[in-house]
Structure 1
Amino acid sequence: MSALMTVRGLKKRHGERLLFDIDELTLETASAYVLTGANGVGKSTLLRVLAGLDTAQVASAAFEGTPVALHPYPAALRRAIVYVHQHPIMFSTSVADNIGYGLAARGEPKARIAQRVEDAMAWAGVSYLQGTDPARLSGGEKQRVALARARVLQPRLLLLDEPTANLDGAAREQVIALIPTLMEQGTTVVMACHDRDLIGLPGVRRLKLRDGHLEYRTNKGETDETP
């Protein structure tokens, strides 16, 4: 399997504190990873750096074999990489408009937007919410709408920050069920999480951020307290 993204010499500081110092991070095409580690080790910050939402010191980076800079963040990466926050922001329009927002910003034709939004809503199981005021959505519905909004952009790399946090029961299960289908369409997915069921998904690899370094681990369902 070929490398989608490789970053070497990745360092991030908060004031005098060295948050992480990663020799190499390699993400393969059409693969899924869980990024684990104790609270405060920098999981969310790492995702934000990869998405161009935060800056860090980088020795070198490549995307699909082409050298790239992470700062200033290139337009090509903004089209290829999508980040979904733990608490997704919804615009005060409709669910359909939220899902199609990124496509509209890219100048896609309205007919194409409508079709892709319809497909994404069906995929996420939120078609019944099409005209709903986003302020009325539950936590699980917001997360599925956010995933649909990301999916319509057909990202090469999707970064999910705690996608099942604060979700219980059926809502959590519905979100987890969507993850394998993202891999099937060729998207590489990286999920910062503590969720044992996400960590244990078949085919998902584990990256553990500990003491500022990144460990590639065999996925056997270990907790973050496992040495």
Structure 2
Amino acid sequence: MKKIDWRERRVAIAGAGKTGESLLRFALARGAQCSLWDTRATLDAQAWRERYPGVHIHFGDWPEDAFLPYERVLCSPGLSPMTPALAAARRAGIPLWGDIELFAQCAEAPVIAITGSNGKSTVTTLVGEMAQAAGLQVAVGGNLGTPALDLLAEEGDPEPELYVLELSSFQLEYCESLRPRAATILNISPDHLDWHGDFASYVAAKWRIARCMGAGDTLVLPSQDAELQTPPPTFLRSSHYAASAPVP
């Protein structure tokens, strides 16, 4: 993927949590003009202004047209794209990206990606320890522990040999171009339906982990979950997924 020139681009960061702050640091380091938005009026806006001078801070209710003046909106994973201001931005053609999308655009080392309704933290930790025991320089994080963008090497530093990422359905919803060399959806059961709208949308979000996988990549799926035996039609129409990818 062609590297994006962030310099002077008008970028809104939606959400001031741990991942939101990593999004803000990422955009600022690349020269973007940033605004930080959070719906919580109780946050200390002055403390944020002191920490990030020059960043416009808006804490409190969001008008529906809040993000229309921006070229991109970088979304914290806790915020549903059905949030009125985010939905309005999407209708206007403004890209909504999360931290995993930005990570995918920057990381060059292979990625193992893990999602599922249950057990993903345990499996992510185990895979990371196995890779480390095999002598690899591995970086582990994502939805677990260190935000994905903070795993990226600083300029001039060597990149890890392997990334192992735990990914939530929220993060996958805002991701378009991640191509793991190996990935798994461990299991699926109704969860976060208030965020996704319905179970079908939740399942579709999980399937996005394989959206850009192709021949030579490995996707591991459980045999006991009927929803994971065949990708949803919307997934097949919008992905590069190769049906020939190994699916044990």
Instruction: From the two aligned structures, give the one with the greater strand fraction.
Output: 1
Structure of larger gyration radius = 2
RCO higher in structure (CA 8 A, sep ≥6): 1
